[in-house]
Amino acid sequence: MIRLLFIILAASLLASCQPVETTSEKPYKWLIPDDFPRPIAIPYNEMSNAKVTLGRFLFYDKNMSVNQSQSCASCHQQQYAFAERRSVSKGATGQKHRRNAPALVNIAYNKTLTWAHDGLTSIERQVLIPLFSESPVELGATGNEQKILSRFNTNKYKEMTEQAFATEQLDFDLIVKALSSFTRSLISLNSPFDRYAYAMDDTALSKSALRGMDLFFSERLECHHCHGGFNFTQSTTHQRQLLDLRPFHNTGLYNTAGDFSYPAIDTGLFEVTGNKQDVGRFRAPTLRNIGLTAPYMHDGSMGDLSQVIDFYAAAGRSISSGENAGDGRLNPLKSQFIKGFVLNRQEKNDLINFLLTLTDSQFITNPQHSNPFKE
Ligand code: HEC
Ligand code: HEC
Rounded mean pLDDT, 119-132: 95
What pLDDT, in 10s, does the model give residues 96-107? 999 999 999 999
Q: How many angstroms separate the CA atoms of 96 and 25, rounded?
A: 43
Rounded mean pLDDT, 28-39: 92
DSSP state letters, 200-266:
--TTSS-HHHHHHHHHHTSTTT-HHHHS-TTTTSS-B--TT-------EEE-SS---SSSSSS-TT-
User: Does domain 1-375 sit in CATH 3.30.365.10?
Assistant: no
Nearest to 187 by CA among 9, 363, 8: 363
Nearest to 280 by CA among 256, 304, 313: 256
Judge if the beta carbon of residue 228 lies within 6 A of ligand 1.
no
Residues 6+ apart with CB under 8 A from 44: 124
pLDDT at position 354 over 80: yes
What is the pTM (predicted TM-score) of this model? 0.94
Rounded mean pLDDT, 153-159: 97
Closest ligand by atom to 224 CA: 2
pLDDT at 166: 97
| pLDDT > 70 in the chain, percent | 92
Rounded mean pLDDT, 258-285: 96
How many other C-beta atoms lie within 10 A of the C-beta of residue 190? Answer: 17
What pLDDT, in 10s, does the model give residues 58-93? 999 999 999 999 999 999 999 999 999 999 999 999
SS3 (DSSP) at 49: helix
- Residues contacting ligand 2 via CB (< 6 Å): 221-223, 225-227, 249, 251, 253, 282, 284-285, 287, 290, 293, 296-298, 308-309, 312, 335, 337-338
Closest ligand by atom to 120 CA: 1
CA angle 80, 86, 90 (to 5 degrees): 115
Closest ligand by atom to 355 CA: 2
Judge if the beta carbon of residue 141 lies within 6 A of ligand 1.
no
Judge if the beta carbon of residue 131 lies within 6 A of ligand 1.
yes
Contact (CB, 8 A) for 308 and 302: yes
Please give the distance, rounded to the nearest whole angstrom, from the Cα atom of residue 373 to the centre of ligand 1: 21
DSSP state of 282: E
- Ligand 2: atom nearest CA of 335 is 1
Q: How many angstroms separate the CA atoms of 6 and 242, rounded?
A: 15
Domain ranges of the chain: 1-375
